[in-house]
Chains A and B, each alone.
Chain A
Amino acid sequence: MDIQEYRRQVEEELEREAASASLESVGSDADPVSTAADPSASGERRIRAIRELAGSARENRAEIEILLRLLRSDSEPPAVRLAALGALGQLQFTSPLFNEMRPEFIDTLRSAVDASDEEVRTRVLETLAQHKDEYAQRRLLAGLRGEEPPLVPEQKAIQFLGYDIHAEHYPLLREIVERSDSPGVRREAVRLLSSDPTAVEILGRVFQDRTEHHEVRRAAAGALATLAPQDLEGRAKEVALDPGEAPALRATSLTALEHFGNPAALEADQEFLERLDAGAARTAITEESMDLGSGPAATELDQAISRFKGRFGRK
């Protein structure tokens, strides 16, 4: 997740909390079932009623069915549908009735993947993806392959497929790494390729490609550490010593070596430690950091070098 995405999520969360606080100040509804289902009631009242149902419907099949109906209906306002989805999400864990109603829940979610509202579609697909649902995976893959209009943005689709290693998206992910113009999309694809043992070659290539975005390369380093730690070792050493590389990437390489490398081999490789320690390398790092204005990354690199030397340097 990049920083912009994280910031957006935090802001949304704060907005939701503020809305929730304002709803709570209004007080509880006398008949939450009728209010939740009443299209003439205000959105705020209906959402409050739905939240009440999340608590009261635990042992009431009819009330759970109302929530399913609200989620399914494309004529309901998106906020109401999202509130119903949230309430059903809670009931999954709190209602003793929910297990036997699971097929209806899945059926409702599948029926809502074509919702006209993007937020509803996204949340519904994410819920299904978390259940490793075959239908959701099929529709996501069809969107990524261009066989039908995509239901969610490419980056999201890749993230959702990542919930299931058996979703069989690996050939498509390799293709996306090669063709996508978006570093964010490529980064997500590279991350998921960390479960595909046949992707070692392409991950190695991405990691050592100086023209690639450093976030994508960092993701490739992480993926290689998972799949082929030995393969990563030589490549990571090269990158860690290269003053022309971004400090963040050099730091990632050192961290990967520290955690996934062969400790005995790293301790024995004093030449690498000496070169890491060499003034030329440090100067280059500092200069480069200044040139790029990447102070935090340079600090991260310094810390990584210091940690690495502390662990593998001759005592």
Chain B
Amino acid sequence: MTALPIGTGTAEDAFAEWVRSAATGDELVALLAEEHPLYAGRSTNETTRMRGWMLAQFERIGLPDAALPFVLEELESGRDPFLVAAAATAMRGGDIGAMRSFAPFLRQAVRNMRFLDGSVTFEVYKPRWPISHTTTAAKELRATLAWLGQPEEGAAGCCEVEIPPVPRTLPADTDAIELEDQDGRRLPFRDFFRGKPAVVAFFYTRCDNPNKCSLTITRLAQLQERLSGVRLAAITYDPLYDLPQRMRSFGESRGIHFGEDVRFFRTVRGFDQLRAHFALGVNFNGAIVNRHRIELAVMDARGRVVSSFARLQWEPEAIVRTVQRVRALRLVRPVFAPLLLAILPKCPLCLTAYLGAAGVSVMQSMPYLRGLLFLFVAMHWVAVFRRRRWLAVALSTAGAAALFSPLPVAGAVLIAVSSLLTAYSRPHSYFGR
């Protein structure tokens, strides 16, 4: 992250002054990331004040493209009048032509705030009532719609919004993560998230914004109806409080049907590694979540995150499409990888034939032959080992040894058998309903 004069432990007043007088748009964008250390150990109210204060500055300093997801997120899901008013204000710092297509987000915010609006001000940080110059979320939303020349009434949800991808971090050591499910069963992270593609959402039962965790789990239940052969999981941000029974009750009351491939988890060990592995947008004050974004990840059968949906609400249809892509890749790879392995030359005879076809076998000597052979055999061994098919690994090892012995033909046969074993030992079908 960018080195800023603001960070963990900065006093709120100093922060507010710096934001108003010195901060650039890019600096504010960096600070808006939920996982930023700025928010660690701060209260929810403090976090809300800081974020709202920053968002409101975009009207004055201009709205960078990278800040738009934060603005849209508040408009779509926010329920705090201060943050929503700030987001509406921030939009007026953007290019009017570009902002016009986001009018439906403003209308959605008007609906969200219908029963929740309050009196706010951006003139003073941490104001003390009574104050004379206040505004409201509804007033700011109307002002922004008027600025865009858009009517207050109209359709909600319109546009495909390009959200920057979640910054990828190096996968953390997931071996350190131990999970407990909604029935109190404990298991290592890899036991659930390897072997099949998986969709994992994040939530916590004490989340007081129904547009976030509650809606996420409700949509996960809808997703369950539309996907099979894929593991579905939800992992809590609040592992100390979300005991198994709480997770079960939260899921069931939102339509989740738990089963071996549909489970909710809390971490009993390795929460930091989990947070790093998924680059989670969440922060804490002690054990209490002070801020989080909406987030969901699609993982391949090897436990790697292949796609992330963050910040804006996701539609089950989009997840279904992503999972189908993962499945397609998964069907293609077992066919092509072993085929490639099979056609690589794995003995002097094959290599000679290949080189002959390429017109180079007429050379009197091939000093690089042994080196090439060694390279191919090593590649084969690594590929087989990574799939953890131990019989195939043993055959490949024995074949490699035989290749460099007086029995090269036996070695070639053993390696070919090893390739075939690797190719035909994964019988899962991943077609959905």
Contact = CB atoms under 8 A, between A and B. Distances in A.
Categorize the interface residue count of chain B: 20 to 34
Nearest to A198: B287
A197 B119 contact: no
B116 to A, nearest CB: 8
Contacts of B43: 166-168
B222 interface: no
Nearest to B239: A197
The secondary-structure label for the interface of chain B is loop
Nearest to B126: A138
B288 A107 contact: no
A102 interface: yes
B414 interface: no
B194 interface: no
Contacts of B136: 103
A156 B337 CA distance: 69
Given A99-B115, A168-B43, A196-B287, A134 B241 contact: no
A100 interface: yes
Contact of A168 (B119, B126, B127, B285): B285
Contacts, number: 79
A171 interface: yes
A107 B241 contact: no
Central interface residue in B130, B134, B285, by most chain A CB within 10 Å: B130
B115 A103 contact: no
Contacts of A171: 286
Contact of B240 (A102, A132, A134, A197): A197
B129 A137 contact: no
B241 A197 contact: yes
B124 to A, nearest CB: 12
A315 to B, nearest CB: 26
Given A166-B45, A167-B45, A103 B81 contact: yes
Question: Max chain A CB contacts within 10 Å: which of B82, B118, B240, B241?
Answer: B118
A113 B286 contact: no
A165 interface: yes
A72, A134, A170, A196 interface centre (most CB from chain B within 10 Å) = A134
Interface string A232-274: 0000000000000000000000000000000000000000000
Interface string B127-161: 10110001010100000000000000000000000
B208 A166 contact: yes
- Give the residue among A110, A111, A137 with the most B Cβ atoms within 10 A: A110
A219 to B, nearest CB: 18
B100 interface: no
Interface in A129-171: 132-135, 137-138, 164-168, 170-171
B115 A195 contact: no
B44 A168 contact: yes
A263 B13 CA distance: 53
A104 interface: yes
A106 interface: yes
B288 A196 contact: yes
B45 A138 contact: yes
B240 A198 contact: yes
A219 B82 CA distance: 36
Nearest to A98: B115
B369 to A, nearest CB: 65
Nearest to A166: B44
B433 interface: no
Contact of A165 (B45, B48, B126, B288): B288
Contacts of A138: 45, 126
Interface in B96-126: 114-119, 126
A227 interface: yes
Contact of B118 (A102, A168, A195, A197): A102
A168 B45 contact: yes
B49 interface: yes
Contact of B134 (A107, A132, A165, A229): A107
B288 A168 contact: yes
Contacts of B216: none
Nearest to B46: A168
A100 B119 CA distance: 11
Contacts of B241: 195, 197, 227
A144 to B, nearest CB: 14
A111 B130 contact: yes
Contacts of B290: 166, 168
Interface in B15-66: 43-46, 48-49
Contacts of B119: 103-104, 106-107, 110
Contacts of B208: 132, 164-166
B269 interface: no
B59 to A, nearest CB: 20
A138 B126 CA distance: 9
A170 B134 contact: no
Interface string B186-225: 0000000000000000000010100000000000000000
B286 A135 contact: no
Nearest to B127: A135
Contacts of B116: 102
A103 B116 CA distance: 9
Given A99-B114, A134-B49, A166-B208, A107 B286 contact: no
A167 B130 CA distance: 22
Given A103-B118, A168-B45, A196 B286 contact: yes
Contacts of A137: 45
Contact of B286 (A103, A133, A198, A227): A198
A164 B44 CA distance: 11
A110 B126 contact: no
A170 B288 contact: yes
A114 to B, nearest CB: 8
Contacts of A110: 119, 129-130
Nearest to B285: A168
A103 B126 contact: no
Contacts of A165: 206, 208, 288
Given A134-B45, A135-B127, 18 more contacts: A102-B116, A103-B134, A106-B118, A134-B49, A135-B129, A166-B43, A166-B44, A166-B208, A168-B44, A168-B45, A168-B46, A168-B285, A168-B290, A170-B286, A170-B288, A171-B286, A196-B287, A197-B287
Shortest 7 CB-CB distances between A and B: which pairs? A197-B240, A168-B43, A107-B119, A110-B129, A111-B130, A166-B44, A103-B136
10 contacts: A99-B114, A99-B117, A102-B116, A111-B130, A138-B126, A166-B290, A195-B241, A196-B286, A196-B288, A197-B241
